[in-house]
């Protein structure tokens, strides 16, 4: 097996499975090894029937003796095998469907561990389809950290685990591209070892070591990519002529609100750049709700006024459409008739073609879209400004692609990821930075509460009352559908439950990442128009969604989210004039969760929040909780791995200062890797 061997070369993987893998971006053996676990679980300790509590639902391992052989009935559609375990007071019924042969294993007198989900059926606790283990077999599993992967239709966790086991061998498929010296100095483990341990850790210690190595690599190559080839990074001369700054002043005067001081300052910096000597490369950092969109609009309107095209790129379809509507409304309000063009990946070929045509004909169009904006076929006539909103780092490569088309526009990157200046300089080293450190004054701070599950009925009443007053609510669940590995709330079942408990006049909607794009957009638009009052969603609403009429954010299993993420979620409410509320349902340990929440109520500074959060958690605790910064890495997290980020940056600087072109033999693998990255990235963009 090689790194680039097709996944179908793994025994047992056929065309159909390969197609399902392709949907996850997995094509080769190397790809699946780089599909890291989302988190890890440990099997629960095996307990006698009497000790599994009130059968509250959830997964249990039950240690029990087979008293009487199981009985199989041949139902009309399939065989049902039933067996009771436990004593008079506490009985548990085991049920297997289509598995009559299970009775060959379950001989009376023997003791087994039964693992499965316990539910209550007709007043009796039942475990369906339990997996049967001998005591020894279960004991060895109990200690293991088992990987949990993100999945897609047709791909199970078990399949991924088996496939990876089949591919991993002792030699390893990867070369180690990190210079020996760096590894030694920072005491980083070997790459193939890290890959093996991240999937199947021997212990928590080896897992932490593996993660450190992989996180280091992610940062190291990311920074290297920015710095290497940046030697010719002198600023480009500004080819555009921007005049009449008072045009923007006039628009500001017509806004229904006063811009904050920070917004004004930022706008002035942008205008100065756009009319200045060099092409702009600026990062705007502003917390959720600080009002970045209107800044983007004003900059783009100024471009249109000066006869230039401009584009704003959003990370999701939903956000792109939201901006499109906002921009149309603003233009209408201001009585401007600049051409506004929407261009997203989900549009049909015909719609796209029409958008391209309008672009060719409109030298001062304001273009709004997703990544489709910079694809090969888009022909700009006159592009002077490109803005990216949330999460898209507009890197060297994208700039190169535009340059190939003959453009060298002003670049503005907008981010809600609050990071201190030192880190921003590492990650966005090639940019000037504006910070919007002020939120519009009139807003009432969001009221927070953290409660346990008993409070749910009250929360639903509260949501119903808010809806009756004309407001709206979000309910966030961590999962899309029920999961065998985790006992967490899921959107699919939750919305059914809400339908039962909320008054019928309240419209419900569902939003999650597995939905088709058009569907997502439809739901989001309906929510924005208040046709839906309660939106049950996963964290897809975390970034950028703006529905000022929403006043309640209810978060299920809040203890499972990183504080920075909770902060982002909370930022979806409190965007209008009305008082807003954030209800966090704690399903974890009461004390720890309370301590964490106190941090959230004490501060609005995302970086402070993330840092305090880390102090409260132990090593290993960070698996499964991602703080989620603006730049997406597989494993690395700019908050919790800030120290590794600094170290990676220092190593990059040192290497480049000693060997600017990476010509030394020991840097050869590194240089090849960077060149390969560059090709891959360009190829990806030309889809
Ligand atoms: P973010 O910075 O998170 O992208 P938005 O640009 O979506 O924030 O702004 C959030 C809301 O605040 C919008 O409804 C916007 O109209 C409003 N807003 C922006 N600036 C101001 C301001 N200076 N005063 C009052 N409201 C504002
Ligand atoms: Mg925004």
Written as one string, the DSSP assignment of 256-324 is SSPPPHHHHHHHHHHHHHHTSSB--EEEEEE-TTS-HHHHHHHHHHHHHHTT-EEEEE-SSHHHHHHHH
What is the helix, strand, coil percentage profile of the chain, to 5? 40, 20, 40
What is the structure's pLDDT at 468? 95
Q: Is 286 in the pocket of ligand 1 (CB under 6 A)?
A: yes
Q: Is 292 in the pocket of ligand 1 (CB under 6 A)?
A: yes
Around ion ligand 2, residues with a beta carbon closer than 5 Å are 544
pLDDT, tens only, 7-53: 999 988 999 999 999 988 899 999 999 999 988 888 888 888 887 76
Which of 266, 293, 604 gets mutated to test ligand 1 (max ligand atoms within 8 A of its CB)? 293
Distance CA 63, CA 568 (A): 43
Q: Is 266 in the pocket of ligand 1 (CB under 6 A)?
A: no
Mean pLDDT of 523-538: 93
pLDDT, tens only, 563-605: 777 888 888 898 888 999 999 998 877 777 777 777 887 776 6
Burial 407-416 (b: 16+ CB within 10 A, else e): bbbbbbbbbb
Angle at 342 between CA 338 and CA 348, to 5 degrees: 145
Contacts of residue 14, Cβ cutoff 8 Å, sequence gap at least 6:
8
Q: Is 290 in the pocket of ligand 1 (CB under 6 A)?
A: yes
What is the structure's pLDDT at 232? 46
What sign has the CA pseudo-torsion 169, 171, 173, 179? Answer: positive
Question: For residue 14, what are its two tokens?
Answer: 């056929």
What sign has the CA pseudo-torsion 481, 487, 488, 489? Answer: positive
Mean pLDDT of 143-154: 85
Q: Is 667 in the pocket of ligand 1 (CB under 6 A)?
A: no
* Mean pLDDT for all residues in the chain: 86
Q: Is 415 in the pocket of ligand 1 (CB under 6 A)?
A: no
Q: What percent of the chain has pLDDT over 90?
A: 50
Q: Distance from the CA of 291 to the center of ligand 1, in angstroms?
A: 3
Q: Is 387 in the pocket of ligand 1 (CB under 6 A)?
A: no
CA 646 from chain center: how many Å? Answer: 23
| CA distances, 359 to each of 296, 308, 366, 370, 400 (Å) | 19, 11, 9, 15, 21
Q: Is 260 in the pocket of ligand 1 (CB under 6 A)?
A: yes
Taking CA atoms only, the protein residue closest to ligand 1 atom 20 is 291
pLDDT surpassing 50 at residue 345: yes
Q: Distance from the CA of 429 to the center of ligand 1, in angstroms?
A: 27
What is the structure's pLDDT at 161? 93
The dihedral region occupied by 606, where left means phi > 0, alpha psi between -120 and 50, and beta the remainder, is alpha
Taking CA atoms only, the protein residue closest to ligand 1 atom 10 is 289
Q: Is 291 in the pocket of ligand 1 (CB under 6 A)?
A: yes
Q: Distance from the CA of 288 to the center of ligand 2, in angstroms?
A: 7
Q: Closest ligand 1 atom to the C-alpha of 294?
A: 6
Range with the poorest average pLDDT among 355-364, 406-415, 528-537: 406-415
Angle at 57 between CA 52 and CA 62, to 5 degrees: 35
Q: Is 548 in the pocket of ligand 1 (CB under 6 A)?
A: yes
Distance CA 289, CA 40 (A): 34
Can you give the length of the chain in residues? 687
Q: Distance from the CA of 462 to the center of ligand 1, in angstroms?
A: 26
Reduced to 3 states (helix: H, G, I; strand: E, B; else coil), residue 586 is: coil
Range with the poorest average pLDDT among 57-66, 464-473, 624-633: 624-633
Q: Is 257 in the pocket of ligand 1 (CB under 6 A)?
A: yes
Q: Is 416 in the pocket of ligand 1 (CB under 6 A)?
A: yes
User: Which-ligand-closest: CA of 289?
Assistant: 1
Q: Distance from the CA of 236 to the center of ligand 2, in angstroms?
A: 28
Q: Are 55 and 67 in contact (CB under 8 A)?
A: no
What is the structure's pLDDT at 16? 92
Which of 291, 318, 416, 546 gets mutated to test ligand 1 (max ligand atoms within 8 A of its CB)? 291
pTM, two decimal places: 0.71
Report for 226-235, 259-268, 387-396, 602-611: range of highest mean pLDDT: 259-268
Kindly tell me the number of DSSP H helices and DSSP E strands found in the chain.
23, 22
The residue with greater pLDDT, 361 or 426, is 361
User: Which-ligand-closest: CA of 256?
Assistant: 1
pLDDT, tens only, 284-336: 988 778 899 999 999 999 999 999 999 999 888 888 988 999 999 999 999 99
What is the structure's pLDDT at 264? 96
Q: Is 546 in the pocket of ligand 1 (CB under 6 A)?
A: yes
Q: What percent of the chain has pLDDT over 70?
A: 90
Q: Is 37 in the pocket of ligand 1 (CB under 6 A)?
A: no
Nearest CA among 19, 170, 2 for reference residue 10: 2
């Amino acid at each position: 097996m090689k790194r680039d061997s097709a996944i179908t070369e793994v025994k047992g993987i056929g065309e159909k499975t390969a197609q399902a893998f392709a949907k996850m971006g997995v094509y080769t053996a190397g790809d699946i090894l780089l599909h890291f676990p989302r988190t890890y679980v440990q099997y629960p300790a095996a307990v006698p029937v009497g000790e599994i509590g009130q059968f509250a639902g959830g997964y249990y391992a039950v240690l029990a003796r087979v008293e009487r052989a199981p009985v199989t009935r041949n139902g009309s559609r399939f065989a049902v095998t039933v067996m009771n375990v436990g004593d008079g007071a506490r009985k548990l019924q085991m049920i297997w469907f289509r598995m009559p042969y299970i009775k060959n294993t379950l001989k009376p007198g023997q003791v087994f561990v039964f693992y499965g989900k316990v539910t209550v059926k007709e007043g009796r606790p039942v475990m369906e389809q339990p997996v049967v283990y001998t005591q020894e077999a279960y004991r060895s599993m109990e200690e293991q950290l088992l990987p949990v992967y993100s999945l897609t239709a047709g791909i199970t966790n078990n399949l991924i685990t088996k496939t990876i086991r089949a591919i991993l061998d002792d030699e390893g498929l990867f070369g180690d591209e990190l210079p020996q010296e760096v590894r030694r100095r920072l005491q980083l483990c070997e790459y193939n070892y890290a890959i093996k341990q991240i999937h199947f850790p021997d212990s928590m210690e080896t897992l932490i070591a593996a993660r450190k190595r992989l996180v280091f690599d992610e940062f190291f190559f990311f920074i290297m990519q920015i710095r290497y080839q940046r030697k010719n990074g002198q600023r480009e001369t500004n080819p555009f002529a921007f005049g009449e700054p008072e045009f923007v002043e006039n628009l500001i005067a017509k806004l229904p609100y006063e811009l904050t001081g920070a917004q004004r300052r930022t706008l002035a910096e942008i205008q100065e750049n756009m009319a200045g000597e060099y092409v702009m490369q600026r990062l705007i950092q502003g917390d959720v709700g600080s009002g970045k969109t209107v800044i983007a609009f004003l900059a783009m309107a100024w471009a249109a006024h000066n006869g230039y095209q401009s584009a704003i790129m959003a990370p999701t379809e939903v956000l792109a459409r939201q901006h499109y509507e906002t921009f149309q409304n603003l233009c209408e309000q201001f009585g401007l008739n600049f051409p506004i063009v929407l261009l997203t990946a989900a549009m049909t070929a015909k719609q796209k073609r029409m958008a391209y045509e309008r672009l060719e004909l409109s030298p001062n169009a304001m273009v709004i879209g997703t990544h489709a904006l910079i694809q090969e076929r888009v022909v700009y006539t006159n592009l002077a400004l490109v803005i990216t909103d949330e999460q898209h780092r507009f890197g060297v490569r994208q700039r190169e692609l535009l340059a190939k088309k003959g453009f060298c526009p002003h670049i503005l990157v907008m981010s809600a990821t609050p990071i201190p200046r030192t880190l921003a300089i590492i990650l966005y080293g090639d940019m000037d930075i504006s910070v919007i450190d002020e939120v519009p004054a009139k807003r009432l701070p969001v009221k927070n509460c953290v409660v346990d599950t008993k409070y749910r009925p009250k929360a639903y009443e509260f949501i119903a009352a808010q809806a009756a007053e004309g407001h709206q609510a979000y309910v966030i669940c961590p999962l899309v559908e029920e999961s065998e590995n985790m006992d967490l709330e899921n959107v699919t079942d939750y919305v059914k439950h809400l339908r039962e408990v909320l008054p019928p006049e309240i419209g419900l909607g569902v939003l999650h990442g597995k939905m088709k794009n058009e569907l997502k957009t439809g739901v989001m638009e309906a929510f924005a128009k208040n046709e839906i009052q309660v939106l049950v969603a996963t964290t897809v609403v975390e970034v950028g969604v703006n529905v000022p009429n929403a006043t309640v954010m209810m978060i299920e299993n809040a203890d499972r989210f990183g504080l920075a993420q909770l902060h982002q979620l909370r930022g979806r409410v409190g965007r209008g004039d009305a008082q807003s509320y954030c209800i966090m349902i704690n399903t974890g340990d009461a004390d720890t969760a309370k301590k964490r929440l106190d941090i959230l109520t004490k501060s609005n500074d995302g970086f402070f929040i993330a840092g305090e959060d880390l102090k409260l958690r132990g090593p290993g605790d960070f698996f499964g909780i991602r703080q989620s910064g603006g730049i997406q890495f597989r494993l690395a997290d700019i908050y919790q791995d800030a120290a590794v980020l600094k170290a990676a940056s220092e190593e990059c600087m040192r290497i480049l200062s000693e060997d600017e072109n990476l010509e030394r033999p020991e840097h050869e693998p590194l240089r090849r890797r960077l060149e390969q990255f560059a090709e891959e990235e360009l190829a990806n963009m030309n889809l």
